[in-house]
Amino acid sequence: MTNIYGMSRVDLENYFLASNEKKFKAIQVFEWLYEKKSQNIDEWSNIKKDLREKLKTDFSFDMPKIIRVEKDTLARKYLFELADTNFIEAVVMFHDYGTSLCVSSQVGCNMGCSFCESGRLKKVRNLETFEMVSQILQIEKDLNMRISSVVIMGIGEPLDNYDNVIRFIKIINDPKALAIGIRHITLSTSGLVPKIYDLMDLDLQINLAISLHAPNDEIRSKIMKVNKVYNISQLLTAIKDYIARTNRRVTIEYVMLKVVNDSKECAKELANLLHGLNIYVNLIPYNETNHLEYQKSSPESISEFCKVLKDNKINVTVRKEFGGKISAACGQLRSKEVKE
C-alpha cells in the first residue's frame, strides 16, 4: 500500500482528479498532515466521510518508530526501527540560528569509505520517500519544535537513491507541507558524477556538499572506493560545471584523519586544487569509532591545516563538534543495535 507521506502535492492532485474529485483536496490533505500534524483521518472535518474512507483504504499512514534517543547538550541522535525491522538514524543539532536535522537516505551504504561507520554494514535497501519525511515529522513531534534546516548526510549515499531523495526534497520544501526553504536543504554526496549532472539539470538551488576528504587520487582511492570510478579530475569538472550552471557555491567536506590527510603538504595541495573556485571548505573533526582504526587529527593539526588554506585565499571553516557524549559517528548507533 502506498504511504501518504511519500506523496507529493502533485501526486495527490492527480490522485483526486483520477477519483473525480477537485484537486484542491490535495492542499486540504497536506494541511492536515503537515500543518495540523494529524494522522487521524476522522478528524479531517473539511473532507467528506466517504472520501476519508477511501483515503484509509488507499493509503498507509504508518511511520518508522523512534526506539532510542541519545542526548547531548547541543545534539540528539535518534534510532528508528523500520517496518521491516531494519534500523536507521538521524541527528538533531541545536544552533544559535535554528535546529538542523541530518537524515538518512539508505539502510546501510555501498560506497565503502574506509573511515565511515555507515558503510561498514553494507547497503540493505534504499529508503522510501515517506521514511525520510517521517524522520523529520517524528523528531519535530518529539522535540515539540520546528526543524529549520535539513542535511541529507546520514546513513547512505543520497544520489544512489536519486528519485526518492528528489521527491523528498520537493515535499519538505513545499509551502503547504514542511515549508523548509530550498536553501536550507543540503545534499551531501561522495561524488557520483553522472548524478551530479542530473541534479544540476533540475536547478533546485539546494546546497550541494561534496565529500572530498583528500587532495589527490592516491590518498582518496585508499579511503574512498568511489574515487576508483570517478576520480578527482572528473569530480572537479563536475563541480565546476555545477557552479557554472546553478550559480551556487559548493561545499567541500574534508574529514580530518590523523596522519592520513592532515599534513601541511596536503593542505597546500588542496589549496592548489581548489584555487579560484566558488567553494568553501568545511574541515570536519573525525568522530572515532571502536570498529575502525582511524584517529582524529589533533586540534593543532586542524588549526595549522586551516591556516594554510586561509593563507592561500581558500574560504574555510572548522565544523563545530556535536555529540561528544552520544554515538556521534554516522551509523554508530545503528551498528550498536544490529550487534545487540
Residue with cell 546553478: 246
Residues pairing with 102 in the sheet: 91, 151
Strands (DSSP E) found in 63-117? 65-71, 75-81, 87-95, 98-103, 106-107
Burial 20-58, CB ≥16 within 10 A → b, else e: ebeeebbebbbebbbeeeeeebeebeebeeebeebbeee
Query: Among residues 102, 116, 306, 330, which one is catalytic?
Result: 330
Report the alpha-carbon distance of residue 316 to residue 274 in Å, rounded: 11
C-beta atoms surrounding 96 within 10 Å: 4
3-state SS, residue 104: coil
Query: Among residues 13, 70, 89, 117, which one is catalytic?
Result: 89
89 is catalytic: yes
266 is catalytic: no
Residue with cell 511511520: 63
Q: What are phi and psi of 328, to 5 degrees?
A: -75, -30
Q: Which residues are catalytic?
A: 89, 330
